[in-house]
Chain A
Amino acid sequence: KQEVTQIPAALSVPEGENLVLNCSFTDSAIYNLQWFRQDPGKGLTSLLLIQSSQREQTSGRLNASLDKSSGRSTLYIAASQPGDSATYLCAVLNAGGTSYGKLTFGQGTILTVHP
């Protein structure tokens, strides 16, 4: 059964710092990996989606990488701002096993960027 782990569980940084969030998954049979942002009490906003054949995706200050063979992804946030404070969730779309076609989520990293 697919398991997704995110490290660290929480992160607090000063404004302007570059930071990296980590996501690992146990089963490399995936279609894609997606990074979401969730503000308190709100739904999920998709940030980046990386297909299994891709190595990275970029959007503005965000860059996500994927190493499918080792079961790892990182989300890099450049020049962090207080508005980046949120929970960041990683999810994989499974391509095999009993979880075929379903998303498996990590528990999230709570990011706080202080002025």
Chain B
Amino acid sequence: DGGITQSPKYLFRKEGQNVTLSCEQNLNHDAMYWYRQDPGQGLRLIYYSQIVNDFQKGDIAEGYSVSREKKESFPLTVTSAQKNPTAFYLCASSMVQGYEQYFGPGTRLTVT
């Protein structure tokens, strides 16, 4: 059963703590993406990776970091430098950059 999984579904953290969100895909896609969704603002691109061991900043990368050590995995770390981390985070993948993107179920992060 191919697809994209994100874990956990809900995540709660105290302000000042780093937190890592998981994204795994078994679609054999080269490209992977992280988006942030806030109410009324649509989706905004945080980071993307076209291939293993390579990634680029998106439109709102400040306060976030990523790694791409394996083709299947693209974890996102929300650092304490991110001023407003509470949001819904969506991971996506595509065969290569520029092709149709498929989305995971999302992780809702709440920081208090």
Contact = CB atoms under 8 A, between A and B. Distances in A.
Contacts, number: 46
B42 A105 contact: yes
Contacts of A49: 100
- The bracket for how many chain B residues form the interface is 20 to 34
Given A102-B48, A107-B42, A43 B105 contact: yes
B42 A106 contact: yes
Contacts of A101: 97-98
Contacts of B42: 4, 89, 105-108
Contacts of B58: 102
Interface residues of A, number: 22
A31 B106 contact: no
Contacts of B101: 34, 46, 103
Interface string A23-67: 000000001101010000111111001000000000000000000
The secondary structure that dominates the A interface is strand
Nearest to B31: A101
Contact of A102 (B45, B104, B105): B45
B40 A44 contact: no
Contacts of B105: 42-43
B47 to A, nearest CB: 11
22 contacts: A4-B42, A34-B100, A34-B101, A41-B108, A42-B105, A42-B106, A43-B6, A43-B106, A44-B90, A44-B103, A45-B103, A46-B100, A46-B101, A49-B100, A89-B43, A93-B98, A101-B97, A102-B45, A102-B48, A102-B58, A105-B44, A107-B40
Interface of B: 6, 40-45, 48, 58, 88, 90, 92, 97-98, 100-106, 108
